[in-house]
Chains A and B, each alone.
Chain A
Amino acid sequence: MDPERPDVKRHHGLVRAAHWLNAVFLLGMIASGLQIYLAFAHFGPRGQPYYPNPIDGPIPRWARLGGWLAGGLNWHFALAWPFVITGVVYLGFLAVSGEWRSLLFRPRDIGPAIQMQLYYLRLRKTHPPQGKHNALQKGAYTFIVLLGALSVLTGFAVYKPVQLSWLTALFGGYELARYWHFWAVWIFIAFTLLHVALVLLVDPASLRAMITGWYRGRFPSHG
Chain B
Amino acid sequence: MGERPGLSRRDFVRLGVVAPASIVAACGWDGGSLIEPRLRAVSRINDWVGEKIFFSGTRLAPQYPISARTPRRDFPAYSITYNRVGTYPQPPAGWTFEVDGLVRKPVRLTSAMLEALPRVTYTVKHHCVEGWTAIATWTGIPVSAVTQMVEPTRDARYLRFDSFDSRYSNGWDLASAMHPQTILAYAWNDRPLTAERGAPLRLYSPVKLGYKLTKYLTGMTFTRERPGGYWEDQGYPWFGGV
Query: A residues within 8 Å of B by Cβ?
Result: 1, 7, 13, 24, 27-28, 31, 35-37, 39-40, 42, 45-47, 61-71, 73-75, 77-78, 81, 159-165, 174-175, 178, 211-214
| Interface flag for B118 (CB, 8 Å) | no
Which residues on B sit within 8 Å (CB–CB) of A174? 125, 127, 133
B interface, CB within 8 angstroms of A: 1, 4, 6-7, 9, 12, 19, 23-24, 26-31, 36, 38-40, 42-43, 46, 50, 54-56, 59, 61-62, 70-71, 73-75, 125, 127-135, 206-207, 231, 234-237, 241-242
Smallest CB separation, B92 vs chain A (Å): 31
Contact residues in B for A81 (Cβ distance below 8 Å): 42
* Closest chain B residue to A213, Cβ basis: B6
With A69-B129, A163-B242, A178-B131 in contact, do A78 and B27 touch (Cβ < 8 Å)? Answer: no
Give the distance in Å from the alpha carbon of A209 to the alpha carbon of B56 in the complex. Answer: 48
Tell me whether A61 and B242 are in contact in the complex, defined as CB-CB below 8 angstroms, given that A28-B23, A70-B231, A78-B42 are known contacts. Answer: no
On whether the beta carbons of A74 and B54 are closer than 8 Å, the reply is no
Which residues of B have CB within 8 Å of A161? 125, 127, 242
Contacts of B56 in A (CB 8 A): 163
Name the contact of A47 in the complex, choosing from B74, B129, B231 (C-beta under 8 A). Answer: B74
**What A residues does B39 contact at CB under 8 A?**
71, 74-75, 78
B23 touches A46 (CB 8 A): no
Measured CB to CB, the nearest residue on chain B to A70 is B235
A193 to B40, CA, bound (A): 33
In the complex formed, the residue of A with least CB distance to B50 is: A160
Known pairs A74-B39, A162-B61, A162-B207; A46 contacts B4 (CB<8 A) = no
- Nearest-neighbor residue (CB-CB) of B71 within chain A: A47
Supposing A73-B237, A160-B242 touch, asked if A62 and B29 sit within 8 A by C-beta, the answer is no
- Contacts A40-B128, A46-B75, A160-B54 given: A175-B1 contact, CB under 8 Å? no
Q: A74-B42, A162-B127 are in contact. List 7 more A-B contacts (CB 8 A).
A: A47-B74, A67-B28, A67-B29, A70-B236, A81-B42, A174-B133, A212-B9
For A164, give its contact among B9, B54, B71, B131 (CB under 8 Å). B54
Q: A68-B30, A71-B30, A161-B242 are in contact. Are A45 and B130 (CB under 8 A)?
A: no
Taking the closest CB of chain A, its distance from the CB of B208, in whole angstroms, is: 9
Q: What are 30 pairs between A and B in contact, CB < 8 Å?
A: A28-B23, A36-B131, A40-B131, A42-B132, A45-B133, A45-B135, A47-B70, A47-B74, A62-B24, A64-B28, A66-B30, A67-B30, A68-B30, A70-B30, A70-B235, A71-B36, A73-B237, A74-B36, A77-B43, A77-B237, A159-B242, A160-B50, A161-B125, A162-B207, A165-B59, A174-B133, A175-B133, A178-B131, A212-B7, A214-B4
**Beta-carbon contact of B4 and A212 below 8 Å:** yes
Contacts of A1 in B (CB 8 A): 1
**Cβ-defined contact, A163 with B59, below 8 A:** yes
Known A-B contacts A73-B236, A77-B46, A163-B241; the reply to A64 vs B6 at CB < 8 A is: no
**How far is the CB of B221 from the nearest CB of chain A, in Å?**
25
| Complex interface: chain A residues within 8 A of B19 (CB) | 24
